[in-house]
Chains A and B, each alone.
Chain A
Amino acid sequence: MEKFTKHTGIGVPLRQSNVDTDQIIPAVYLKRITRTGFEDALFSAWRKDPSFILNQEPFNAGSVLVAGPDFGTGSSREHAVWALKDYGFKAVLSSRFADIFRGNSGKQGLLAAQVAQDDIELIWKELENAPGTQVTVDLESKTVVCGNIVAPFDIDDYTRWRLLEGLDDIGLTLQQEADITAYEATRPAFKPKTLPAKLS
């Protein structure tokens, strides 16, 4: 994973709450077996509407999405994160993220920064008044800067550390393999195994 320390790019105001992952990427795009190439799928239903924010310049070149509360609800599809990244987004700001979406973002190096709704409102106004305004998201200092607005954001310490270091989660866990093997030796015998298969 690439290290993430600081990113500056055009902010995109998405004035909507409860943006579920079916909106971020409809299920029909989930049939692919690749991990990249989902840029066309991002918000594909909404992008058919010419007035949608990503159909307007300069927002179509945005890389920091500023969304309403409860972003990424619903389906666990990591494709939602892949589609945002493939389109060019490096960070999403929201006052509340769905748990699974936030976890998926952390694994893929997309920064999910939790910003107070009052600050989101200020940033929305700034981006709408001056389209093309750059937003800087600084993971070191956990702050967002947009015009004259400086707002703190929350992210859990472990995800922040992994993003700053660009660490591979599986590699980290495999360093604990002795602990895993020791735990396995203590599992009760009555716990089920899928193999050999037993059928009714």
Chain B
Amino acid sequence: MAKTLAEKVWDAHVVRKGDGDGANAQPDLLYIDLHLVHEVTSPQAFEGLRLAGRKLRRPDLTIATEDHNTPTLDIDKPIADLTSRTQIQTLRNNCAEFGVRLHSLGDAEQGIVHVVGPQLGLTQPGMTVVCGDSHTSTHGAFGALAMGIGTSEVEHVMATQTLSLKPFKTMAINVEGTLRPGVTAKDIILAVIAKIGTGGGQGYVLEYRGSAIRALSMDARMTICNMSIEAGARAGMVAPDQTTYEFMKGRPHAPQGAEWDAAVEYWNTLRTDDDAAFDVEVDLDADTLEPFVTWGTNPGQGVSLSQAVPSPEDFGDENAKAAAERALQYMGLEAGTPMKDIRVDTVFLGSCTNSRMEDLRAAADIIRGRQKDPNIRMLVVPGSARVRLEAEAEGLDKVFKDFGAEWRFAGCSMCLGMNPDQLEVGERCASTSNRNFEGRQGKGGRTHLVSPVVAAATAVRGTLSSPSDLEPAPEPAAIRIDAA
């Protein structure tokens, strides 16, 4: 029978088939290939194992890192916040007790859990990947079925290496065409969320397809899959192809030799069959897409950057109207204001959505040779210690520092208001992260979700801007000297 990519990966992991739809019918029991762990959602799960006298079944399929609580400055000093320090120490104790591999602050492989997995080559096509973190959907970029789980499920995976799951429905997101310069993967996913809504993907696995997706790098595909959860979908996927294999080849945990060949042979089968049917299909035109930005307090409240802040009256649905009114009040915005007139205080380049090499390079290319708006504070936070090292090897740290940005150590940083990097009350931020919820980046903070290049252009101009709004950069200094 013809199958979608998601159905193929699902079927390959069924330990025990569920028994249908009866009153106490059990769902399918699925095997989990990789369990990623971090300090926030794991302490109560480890404690549960201890209380029940259970073992962690497969430490060799489990890996942990520290990211949410960690500071991005002074990482060689003890963490100042006592509860954060306790939570990190608890992870270290638990990993030692249960034999889990841990990459701690200061380690070259430490970083945001969703940057670390792919970077080590642990995320591979056709796998099931889970983590107590909703942005686990990131790993779907490799053609893995990857989803966020709660702490009870974390404990369940620790004890059994499986999850009981009801099958998902499938949704194709077809993105055809060619992105214009200055338009990125982030704009695709923000446009998808605005189109289907924050609940539109609920109960579905999304598969991103079409020529615009095939043309994207792995870093960009991760950006898209990362925010599947913002459309309500627990998982998003892209079928693996040559781009995937080139990214993976030679990574520490990628298969080698004959195993690589066997793996590729299997991975090549991981595509939706031509005659397979999705439950729903959604089309997006890449050719006409513009840089996208959010104006409200949920990720579905977005518009093209060239548009204006919408009016609550624009929404037919009473709930959407009320939500828009509330969002405008929280965001301190007037309906009708051009988005490009909105002045921001802070620019944040980082998070599991946009903190990989391609993101840093794209932003650096915009700001190179330019000066930051003096009223703006810009934080640049690489997704992992490895990304930071790689960026420094290319001299990107110098580009950011010369521009006037702060070059930080790796972690979740200003994405979520859990470590020292937070907005002040009323502060407005252009952020490459994934959530613009009330207070997400700090109590009373106001978030506009943007791509890395829009973040960079905004840092130059001080107002929400796209790269095309910038004056041409001055010629490099060396050439000017020659001309003189």
Contacts and interface: CB of A to CB of B under 8 A. Distances in A.
Partners in one complex: yes
B170 interface: no
B44 interface: yes
Contact of B319 (A17, A99, A172): A17
A82 B94 CA distance: 22
Contact of B160 (A45, A173, A191, A194): A173
Nearest to A200: B252
A190 B260 contact: yes
- How extensive is the interface on chain A, given as a class? 35 or more
Given A27-B416, A191-B127, A100 B23 contact: no
Contacts of A79: 151
Given A78-B152, A192-B121, A194-B101, A183 B322 contact: no
Contact of B202 (A98, A156, A169, A199): A98
Of A20, A23, A184, the most chain B CB neighbours within 10 A belong to A20
B182 interface: no
B101 A197 contact: yes
B354 interface: no
Interface in A89-121: 96-100, 103-104, 107-108, 117
A188 B40 contact: no
B84 A179 contact: no
Contact of A70 (B156, B199, B203): B199
Please indicate which of the listed interface residues A15, A187, A189, A194 has the most CB atoms of chain B within 10 Å of its own CB.
A194
A98 B29 CA distance: 21
B304 interface: no
Interface string B44-66: 10011000101001011111000
A45 B253 contact: no
A35 to B, nearest CB: 4
Interface string B397-436: 0000000000000000000111000000000000000010
B59 A195 contact: yes
Contacts of B435: 20, 22, 74-75
A22 B440 contact: yes
Interface string B122-135: 10100100001110
Contact of A76 (B134, B386, B440): B134
Nearest to A198: B252
Contacts of A160: 23
Interface string B74-88: 000000010110110
A149 interface: no
A73 B150 CA distance: 13
B277 interface: no
Contacts of B440: 22, 27
Given A22-B416, A79-B151, A173-B29, 6 more contacts: A33-B87, A69-B199, A99-B203, A169-B152, A174-B160, A192-B253
The 8 closest A-B pairs by CB, nearest first: A107-B152, A104-B150, A78-B150, A33-B43, A198-B252, A161-B24, A27-B418, A31-B83
Interface of B: 15-16, 21-27, 29, 31, 33-34, 40-41, 43-44, 47-48, 52, 54, 57, 59-63, 68-69, 81, 83-84, 86-87, 90, 101, 108-109, 119-122, 124, 127, 132-134, 148-153, 155-156, 159-162, 164, 166, 198-199, 202-203, 229-230, 232-234, 251-255, 259-260, 262-263, 266, 298, 300, 319-320, 322-323, 326, 386, 416-418, 435, 437-440, 443
Interface of A: 15-18, 20, 22-23, 26-28, 30-35, 45, 68-70, 73-79, 81, 96-100, 103-104, 107-108, 117, 156-158, 160-161, 169-170, 172-174, 176-177, 179-180, 183-184, 187-195, 197-200
17 contacts: A17-B322, A18-B298, A20-B435, A22-B435, A23-B437, A27-B416, A27-B440, A35-B44, A35-B47, A103-B153, A104-B150, A173-B162, A180-B29, A180-B162, A183-B15, A184-B31, A192-B124
